[in-house]
Chain A
Amino acid sequence: MAKIELSFYPGCSSQKGATSSNYLVSAQTMCEELDIQLNEIPDWNCCGASIGYGGGGELPRLALSARNIALSEEHNSGQEIVATCAACWLSTREAKERLHEDEQMFKDANAALSEAGLKYQGEANVRHMVEVLVEDIGFDGIKSKVKKPLEGLKIAGYVGCQTNRPFGIAGESFENPKYLDNIVEAVGADSIPTYEKKVQCCGGALAFSEPEKSQEMIKGIIEAAYDNGADMIVTPCPLCQANVEIYQDNINDTYGTKFNMPVVYYSTLMSVAFGRSAKDAALDGQVIPAKQLEEIASK
């Protein structure tokens, strides 16, 4: 397989000491094994996520993403931009489309960018890491790298919202995307095609501002995984991962449940299946330990 070079937008939550720092570690491990070179966009900034709109409005919010794209075009010229975070990907791609459709907005964004000595052209393709896996590497390509199949593990593929809508992965349906199940199968585990909460919202940023309402939805996501006999949940989104994993104690207190369901990233599964250590797979970043993966990694 030829080496793939990408302009990488890691995003705030992936930074050291932040909520999805474990995602970054496992994604880097996964990319090493797949011969994908990630060239970080120098001096990238926050995309505004899905909640910044209320403080930022339209143009200031779009300018955030325009700056990242402009920096990528300047320093990682000719490379496609790739994000691991769903909100980073969505905001960046959305900004690119809006600035493409609206000529005035394009001019206004460039007027703002010129204050930082930058110029936005909007030519770089903006992709999610999952697209690279599905479209460039392929499920067979993933399978061919597996050294330790995750045999006997039953994993619920929780796709969530923003990796799936409004853009999603080409060829997949919004209601029942199958790529995550295919990745689970490719690493040798059993997928759960009947997992009915795979595209249910976890509350997103409202897990912070409306915790009760969000935790009610998160409860359903975890409950359905148990009902389907899952050993763990896998997701491509950092906020989905955090929301579904870290509030299980609170949900247990509220609803009298006994949830203790590990929630991991696709990159965690792949790092372990590719034969890398628990540390490289960032299994030490689990709040709810994924013991079965730890066992496989230590073999």
Chain B
Amino acid sequence: MSDLNTAMIEKYRSNFLKEVEANVEEGEWVKMCMQCGVCSGSCPLGKHWDHPPQEIFMMIRANKRDEVLGTDSMWMCTSCYNCIARCPRGLPITHIMHGLAVYSKRLGLTQKKQPTAEFSQIFWDNLMKKGRVNELKLGLSMYFKDGFGQGVKNAMANQKLGQNMMKAKRMNPMEFFGGHSVKDLSGFQSMVKKAQEIEEGNLKEAK
């Protein structure tokens, strides 16, 4: 268990709602949920969530900390915004789900090998390198995330797709050797570093 997680348990003891309000993006909205269930019924991947959003909101209020932060339900969010568009109380549900997913990850509680959690980090690391996404490397990192053997298998299985994309000039093997980039890369990276420091500082303060 991470130090940050231990510290947060100590600090908020039996008040998980308060912990969420203080540390999760848009978490202050959770208490506004009236349990109508429209979000759960509107979610395109709803059947794959162990706990759909409506349930998660009630579980937060019922102090089910381990269950909420340990579930991979939030990672099923496709960012379709159906729940936001339909919520009668106007809760920014998509963002709360993203916020809970990130919080669980920062505390070291996200399930290992959760594919969307892994992809999300791979995507971020990819765009951080050059300020713009390198799609070729993004695809390769995803194929090879579980080792070389599996990577070759994945690449072979998707060989035709890759060939189709190259034929249409919508994939470029040369991207492997550099690729698109922002010009002011050092400014870009310092900006993000500073933003990360501020955000981590806020979390430590809360601790």
Contact = CB atoms under 8 A, between A and B. Distances in A.
A22 B168 contact: yes
A208 interface: yes
A46 interface: yes
Contact of B198 (A20, A111, A217): A111
A56 to B, nearest CB: 5
B133 A59 contact: no
Contact of B102 (A19, A57, A108, A162): A57
Contacts of A284: 168-169
Assign chain B's interface to a size class.
35 or more
B168 A286 contact: yes
B144 interface: no
Contacts of A63: 191-192, 195
Interface string A16-58: 1111111000000000000000000001111011111111111
A209 to B, nearest CB: 4
A217 B44 contact: yes
Given A12-B133, A19-B170, A246-B164, A115 B190 contact: yes
Given A166-B84, A208-B142, A209-B118, A109 B160 contact: no
B112 interface: no
Interface residues of A, number: 67
Interface string B39-62: 000001100100000000000000
Label chain B's interface by main secondary structure.
helix
Contacts, number: 211
Interface in B176-198: 180, 182-184, 187-188, 190-196, 198
Contact of A200 (B44, B119, B170, B196): B44
Given A22-B170, A166-B84, A250-B161, A43 B199 contact: no
B81 A116 contact: no
B11 interface: no
B187 A115 contact: yes
B172 A165 contact: no
A201 B169 contact: no
A246 B198 contact: no
A67 B165 CA distance: 31
A54 B102 contact: yes
B102 A53 contact: yes
A205 B78 contact: yes
A180 B82 CA distance: 19
A166 B81 contact: yes
Given A15-B132, A208-B119, A115 B193 contact: yes
A286 B169 CA distance: 9
A59 B171 contact: no
Contact of A46 (B122, B133, B161, B194): B133
A112 B191 contact: yes
Nearest to B116: A209
B75 to A, nearest CB: 8
A264 to B, nearest CB: 13
15 contacts: A16-B180, A20-B170, A45-B132, A55-B122, A57-B199, A60-B196, A115-B190, A161-B78, A165-B80, A201-B80, A209-B119, A217-B44, A242-B170, A249-B161, A286-B168
Given A161-B82, A287-B170, 7 more contacts: A17-B174, A46-B131, A60-B199, A118-B191, A162-B79, A203-B44, A210-B116
Q: Which 9 A-B pairs have the closest CB atoms?
A: A55-B124, A54-B120, A17-B172, A116-B187, A50-B79, A165-B81, A201-B44, A201-B80, A112-B195
Interface of A: 12-13, 15-22, 43-46, 48-60, 62-64, 67, 108-109, 111-113, 115-118, 161-162, 165-166, 168, 174, 200-201, 203-206, 208-210, 213-214, 217, 242, 246-247, 249-250, 284-287
